[in-house]
């Protein structure tokens, strides 16, 4: 049976994310999407620092989704949440970690799509001169990507967003600089002002649709997906376990059924050059 076909799905967003969410969800789930127009998702945390997030990303997006569902009296909804910062495995680089969560209250299902990407312009800097400011603008791809100018990082008395061209950017930069001696310049991470981020949200949504369309072989609920990759592929020379993936664990989000998919790269042993024993 199809759990979602023909139902109304609420997209919880304020920053134009429906642009990428709506077509993928309508096609992939056969739902009819409506978008929250006046629901203030900013109260759950803002990137520009006025309101900070109180919980981790998954709980934040879950709470946002549930609050909107109650307010709009809808039993099927999707919300998304991004986190930015150092990449967990490559500390020198910034990463954009996007979550897109689907909640179905009627069938008591929650499915989370995710995409972790290093394709992000995420950056922030206190700048004291125009040359450095112009360099920053070109690095972060302004004006196709937005910026936010503030008098300081936190609790700033001056905050300027939605700056559309370089002349305006320079004018505001110089105003703040004259008054405060330094300008906090940061990338605007709101989806509608950040095409790179919009792309990552799109890929996280694709991941969600894929999971939704993967049914549990036991209870046939949607959301049967990889929840863990387990290391230990044996070395072809010494036969000891390596750090390469031995199997992917797929689990149902509802019942206790799980499956181990061995050898995801279709090789049963690892090259000795990747073995800590043969090539320490």
Which residues are near Zn ion by CB under 5 A?
Answer: 216, 218-219, 235, 237-238, 252, 254-255, 257, 272, 275, 277-278
CB of 244 to Zn ion, least distance (A): 11
Buried b (16+ CB within 10 A) or exposed e, 60-93: bbbebbebbbeeeebebbbbbbbbbeebeeeeee
Measured distance CA(127)–CA(249) in Å, rounded: 47
CB of 243 to Zn ion, least distance (A): 11
CA-based R_g, the chain, Å = 23
Q: Whose Cβ is closer to Zn ion: residue 41's or residue 225's?
A: 225
CB of 225 to Zn ion, least distance (A): 11
The pair of structure tokens assigned to 19 is 């642009």
CB of 251 to Zn ion, least distance (A): 8
Q: Whose Cβ is closer to Zn ion: residue 20's or residue 233's?
A: 233
Residues 6+ apart with CB under 8 A from 152: 126, 180, 182, 184
**What pairs with residue 242 in β-bridges?**
none
CB-facing half-sphere around the CA of 117: CA atoms within 13 A: 19
Q: Whose Cβ is closer to Zn ion: residue 126's or residue 253's?
A: 253
Q: Are 80 and 17 in contact (CB under 8 A)?
A: yes
Q: Whose Cβ is closer to Zn ion: residue 118's or residue 238's?
A: 238
The pair of structure tokens assigned to 56 is 């981790």
Q: Whose Cβ is closer to Zn ion: residue 104's or residue 188's?
A: 104
CB of 254 to Zn ion, least distance (A): 5
Give the burial class of 5: count Cβ atoms within 10 A of its Cβ; 0-12 exposed, 13-18 middle, 19 or more buried: exposed
CB of 220 to Zn ion, least distance (A): 7
Closest residue by Cα to residue 242 from 229, 231, 256? 231
Q: Whose Cβ is closer to Zn ion: residue 28's or residue 234's?
A: 234
CB of 219 to Zn ion, least distance (A): 3
For 81, phi then psi, to 5°, come to -155, 135
* C-beta atoms surrounding 108 within 10 Å: 10
Q: Whose Cβ is closer to Zn ion: residue 51's or residue 240's?
A: 240
């Amino acid at each position: 049976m199809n759990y979602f076909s023909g139902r109304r799905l609420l997209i919880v967003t304020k920053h134009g994310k429906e642009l990428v969410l709506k077509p993928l969800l309508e096609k992939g789930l056969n739902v009819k999407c409506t978008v929250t127009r006046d629901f203030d998702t900013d109260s759950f945390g803002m990137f520009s620092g006025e309101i900070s997030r109180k919980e981790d990303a998954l709980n934040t997006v879950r709470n946002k989704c549930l609050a909107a569902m109650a307010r709009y009296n809808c039993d099927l909804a999707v919300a998304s949440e991004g986190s930015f910062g150092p990449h967990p495995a490559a500390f020198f680089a910034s990463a954009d970690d996007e979550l897109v969560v689907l909640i179905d209250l009627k069938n008591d299902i929650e499915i989370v799509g995710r995409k972790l990407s290093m394709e992000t312009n995420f950056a922030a800097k206190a700048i004291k001169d125009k040359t450095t400011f112009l360099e920053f603008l070109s690095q972060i791809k302004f004006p196709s990507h937005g910026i936010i100018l503030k008098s300081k990082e936190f609790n700033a008395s001056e905050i300027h967003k939605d700056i559309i061209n370089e002349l305006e950017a320079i004018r505001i930069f110089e105003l703040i600089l004259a008054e405060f001696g330094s300008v906090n310049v940061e990338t605007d991470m709101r989806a509608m002002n950040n095409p790179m981020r919009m792309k990552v949200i799109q890929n996280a949504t694709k991941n969600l649709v894929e999971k939704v369309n993967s049914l549990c072989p036991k209870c046939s609920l949607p959301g049967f997906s990889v929840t863990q990759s387990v290391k230990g592929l044996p070395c072809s020379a010494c036969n000891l376990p390596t750090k390469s993936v031995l199997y992917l664990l797929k689990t149902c989000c509802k019942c206790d059924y799980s499956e181990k998919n061995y050898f995801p790269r279709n090789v049963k042993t690892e090259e000795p050059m990747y073995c800590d024993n043969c090539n320490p």
